[in-house]
Homo-oligomer: A and B are copies of this chain.
Amino acid sequence: MAAMNMVGAINLALREEMERDPAVVCLGEDVGVDGGVFRVTEGLFERFGKERVVDTPLAESSIVGAAIGMAMNGLRPVAEIQFMGFIYPAYQQLVSHAARMRNRTRGRIGLPMVVRTPYGAGVKALEHHSESTEAVFCHIPGLKVVAPATPLEAKGLLASSIRDPDPVIFLEPTRSYRMLKEEVPEGEYLVPLGQARKVREGKDLTIVGWGAMVPVMEKAAAQLAEEGVSAEVLDMRTLAPMDFASIVSSVKRTGRCVVVHEAPKTCGLGAEISARVMEGALLSLQSPVERVTAPDITVPLPKGEHYYYITPERVTRAAKRAMSF
């Protein structure tokens, strides 16, 4: 077992899945010789060759479109989109084909494919390099959306995503890529899709989030603990289809809920979670579900970024609002 960061853990998962199954093929811009702009695919080109670690032309729609064709014809492609801000040209392929092929053919043609992409703000990046638009994928039936919070989680979730028979959009929190090292086992380690993870037990309130927000929520929970508020922290991990049952059962116990995400508020996943909590636990709710999200504005360039992103303090304040409603 070695300590590694999330980049290393994803790399390990890719390497092991490729070793395990010759049908697994990586493709995308700069994933080969360069090892990816974040070095996530480093060494794979050398290990598996250019047929399995494919540097593609600069064209996202055809990266996803070709992955669909590959998956139709027996491969398990893992496509990389360099940043989530550049996945939009592939939106039609994802919505109209990836999501629908199985139902279109009444189950005959499934598409085992993964689209990996770094996402999220807080790294002082250029315009379009801080996107967090998971909701526009979670809204599409037939797509799965996954976002790991730690290296270990990343390994297990990516392995499961690659083995999943359905298309998975795998969102890698840029901010967490090199933030933390933890022990990650070599060999088979799977985290099932569709199940939330309880990061911290608590009884006064439930804080729900994923990806780079998990450490933020943990810090907030620690601060709250000092002030005598016991917060439960849930890492949703799979954003679609989401494990709403775990949220509802937690809130039924705690009576309060704070949802945290980096995306703008309106029509973000926080709305869905809020609605589900109300539908499932209205009578237990002691205060409205609080949403701690980005405002409904474009992600500012780095000089204005601090206005945009989520801090533990904002989560703590929301929690206190919930406690004192």
Contacts and interface: CB of A to CB of B under 8 A. Distances in A.
A285 interface: yes
Contacts of A285: 282
Interface stretch (A47-55, A182-190, A286-294): A286-294
Contact of A266 (B89, B240, B266): B240
B135 A267 contact: yes
Interface string A273-286: 01100110010010
B296 A288 contact: no
Interface in A220-262: 240-242
Nearest to A287: B282
**A contact residues, range:** 35 or more
A257 to B, nearest CB: 10
A94 to B, nearest CB: 8
B275 A270 contact: yes
A310 B61 CA distance: 33
A313 interface: no
B139 A266 contact: yes
Interface string A104-147: 10000000000000000000000110000101101111100000
Stoichiometry (number of copies): 2
A140 B268 CA distance: 10
A272 B267 contact: yes
Given A278-B274, A279-B288, A288-B282, A264 B99 contact: no
B128 A133 contact: no
Given A89-B92, A95-B88, A139 B135 contact: yes
Contacts of A141: 264, 266, 295-298
Contact of A275 (B133, B241, B289, B297): B289
A85 interface: yes
Contacts of A288: 278-279, 282
Contacts of A13: none
Contact of A263 (B99, B100, B139, B287): B139
Given A133-B139, A136-B139, A274-B279, 17 more contacts: A88-B92, A88-B96, A100-B127, A103-B297, A104-B298, A138-B266, A138-B267, A242-B266, A267-B271, A267-B272, A271-B271, A274-B275, A274-B278, A275-B289, A278-B278, A282-B285, A282-B287
14 contacts: A61-B89, A103-B297, A104-B127, A104-B298, A135-B139, A139-B266, A266-B272, A267-B272, A274-B279, A275-B275, A275-B291, A278-B288, A282-B285, A282-B288
Interface of A: 61, 85-86, 88-89, 91-92, 95-96, 99-100, 103-104, 127-128, 133, 135-136, 138-142, 240-242, 263-264, 266-272, 274-275, 278-279, 282, 285, 287-289, 291, 295-298
